[in-house]
């Protein structure tokens, strides 16, 4: 007897029907319902090819909500995160470089600059005195 165990135990989902999780099964049923509803609603007014494409496009959002995960988030979690980051709380990111080496030796550099300014000042005073 073989028992399948996911590499990551948090990825475990229980199969309810046809090997689908409860979420996938609900959204699959909803997608089928939308497709059938669109078919009966539009069949008298349009050609079969047009109606079939509209049924597929109408059911697609339900399939996305039921089956797609992005960075461990479901579709509605991803949409909410996108709305928060782009609309509700947008930030302007500014790049500021950090030079750790310069920050470490900056006091020594300033010390030598001050000393060199003093030496130049003395040289000028010596030349003016002559």
Helices (H), 13-87: 22-42, 48-67, 75-83
For the segment 58-70, the average pLDDT, to the nearest whole number, is: 87
The total domain count for the chain is: 2
22/42 same-domain check: yes
Regarding whether 61 and 33 lie in a shared domain, the answer is yes
pLDDT tier at 2, thresholds 50, 70, 90:
confident
| pLDDT of 67 above 90 | no
Shared domain for 86 and 125, answered yes or no, is no
In the structure encoding, which two tokens stand for residue 70, read together? Answer: 């992005």
Cα–Cα distance between 68 and 76 in angstroms, integer? 10
* Token digits of residue 74: 């479901």
For residues 35 and 67, state if they share a domain.
yes
* 99 and 86 within one domain: no
Q: Tell me the percentage of the chain whose pLDDT exceeds 70.
A: 85
Residues 67 and 123 in one domain: no
Alpha-carbon distance 13 to 54, whole Å?
32
Do 55 and 7 reside in the same domain of the chain? yes
Note whether 79 and 105 are same-domain residues.
no
- One domain for residues 81 and 57: yes
Q: Is the pLDDT of residue 40 over 90?
A: yes
Q: What is the pLDDT of residue 74?
A: 85
Q: Which residues contact 32 (CB under 8 A, 6 or more apart)?
A: 59
- The residue range of the domain holding 81 is 1-90
Higher per-residue pLDDT: 129 or 15: 15
Average pLDDT on 31-45 reads 92
- Domain co-membership, 82 together with 100: no
Residues 111, 86, single domain; the answer is no
Exposure string of 73-82, with b = 16+ CB inside 10 Å and e = fewer, is: ebbeebeeee
- Rounded CA separation 20/61 (Å): 18
Cα dihedral across residues 5, 8, 10, 12: positive or negative: negative
pLDDT of residue 24: 86
């Amino acid at each position: 007897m073989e028992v399948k165990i996911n590499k990551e135990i948090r990825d475990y989902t229980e199969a309810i029907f046809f090997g689908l999780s409860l979420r996938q099964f609900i959204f699959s049923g909803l997608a089928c319902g939308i497709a059938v509803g669109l078919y009966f609603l539009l069949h008298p007014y349009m050609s079969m090819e047009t109606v079939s494409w509209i049924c597929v496009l109408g059911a697609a959002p339900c399939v996305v909500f039921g089956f797609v995960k992005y960075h461990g988030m479901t579709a509605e979690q991803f949409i909410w995160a996108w709305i928060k980051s782009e609309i509700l709380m947008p930030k302007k990111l500014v790049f500021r470089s950090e030079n750790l080496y310069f920050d470490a030796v900056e006091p020594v550099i300033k010390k030598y600059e001050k000393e060199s300014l003093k030496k130049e000042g003395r040289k000028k005073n010596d030349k003016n005195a002559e």
